[in-house]
Structure 1
Amino acid sequence: MNAELDEIDRRILAELEADGRLSGRALAERVTISRANAYARFERLMADGVITGFTARVDPVKVGLTTSAYVAMTVRQNNWRDLQAQLRAIPEVRHMALMGGEFDVMLLVRAADNDALRRVVLEQLQNIPGVLSTKTFLIFEDVDNPASRHLG
């Protein structure tokens, strides 16, 4: 079920996506509503599962993950849950998506270097039962699109 969002809800979400550390008071000021209204809407958005949590965005290169790649996989499609659990156990796998189209699964893999990336792909991913093939797309530069964070 999708939550009913009005323009104020969307502005609250956009502000929180831009700065998840906003206080209730600052959020209310930016959206130009009362603090009580901002708090009530925030609580509703959390309870409805629209806001699913908060996290810090970390520069992978600055923490030693200098090589990144998208890894597309073709898999036997009979057990996505088991495959998901096995992929979650690989720390270098930072994101996974079940896809429609040419590939079945797309992974974002961040590793210390090319050798570490090679080990993940050739020794870990390709040894998972049900993985039929992989195709690796090296990322030369990550570019964040701040506009994509604004809803509506």
Structure 2
Amino acid sequence: MDDVDRRLLDVLREDARASVRDLADRVGISRANAYARIARLREDGVLRRFTVDVDPRALGLGLPAYVHVRIKQNSWKSFRDRVVALEEAEHVALVAGDFDCVLLVRARDADHLRELVLGRIQALPEVVATQTVLIFAEHGRGAGGG
């Protein structure tokens, strides 16, 4: 990875649909060089996929929250499989600390969030306890507002 690769990645983060010609022009290299670098970045696993960034608020999911979850010992895989099936769960991570997992969820409103946490997440057989943290503002790549 050199500075040219990093600039290519920056352009792709802004617009993953940019053409190779546009990438080359914006980074200041030839199209052949841009094509070869993108192919290498994909082969090396740096570029894992090209994706679409959907604004959750446009889908009516304007209330984000982190749900910290304590789970039964040795139940991570089954818990993870159940949680990723929830349409409101955007991200799930196994973490160290007071809780075992952190979920980023997005709900329509407080009633929907309550039903999601109390009715569906806490009802999972692996769950021992939860703590919900509302997100007031987000910032970063793919964050929904600020």
Q: 1:145 Cα shift?
A: 5.8
Identity in percent: 48
**1:58 alignment partner in structure 2:** 54
Gaps of 5+ in 1: 147-152
In structure 2, give the amino acid aligned to 1:40: A
Q: 1:49 aligns with which of 23, 41, 45?
A: 45
Q: 2:20 aligns with which of 6, 24, 28?
A: 24
Which TM-score applies when normalising by structure 1?
Answer: 0.86
Note the alpha carbon deviations across 1:40-71, whole angstroms, 9 max, x for none.
Answer: 11011112221111222222222211221111
Partner SS for 2:120: helix
What are the residue-to-residue correspondences of 1:136-147 with 2, within 5 Å? 136-144=132-140
Partner SS for 2:69: strand
Q: 1:7 aligns with which of 3, 7, 14?
A: 3
Q: 1:76 Cα shift?
A: 2.1
Dislocated runs of 4+, deviation >4 Å? none
User: RMSD across aligned C-alpha pairs, in angstroms?
Assistant: 1.6
Partner SS for 2:54: coil
Partner SS for 1:109: strand
Q: 1:99 aligns with which of 95, 101, 111?
A: 95
In structure 1, give the amino acid aligned to 2:103: L
Q: 2:30 aligns with which of 23, 26, 34?
A: 34
Which TM-score applies when normalising by structure 2?
Answer: 0.89
Distance in 1 between residues matched to 2:141 and 2:38, nearest whole Å: 24
Q: 1:74 aligns with which of 37, 57, 70?
A: 70
Mean CA deviation greater in 71-80 or 32-41: 71-80
Aligned residues: 142
Mean CA deviation greater in 50-59 or 127-136: 50-59
In structure 1, give the amino acid aligned to 2:107: A
Which structure is higher in RCO with an 8 Å CA cutoff and minimum separation 6?
Answer: 1
Partner SS for 2:34: helix
**1:86 alignment partner in structure 2:** 82
Q: 1:21 Cα shift?
A: 1.6
Distance in 1 between residues matched to 2:34 and 2:17, nearest whole Å: 14
Partner SS for 1:13: helix
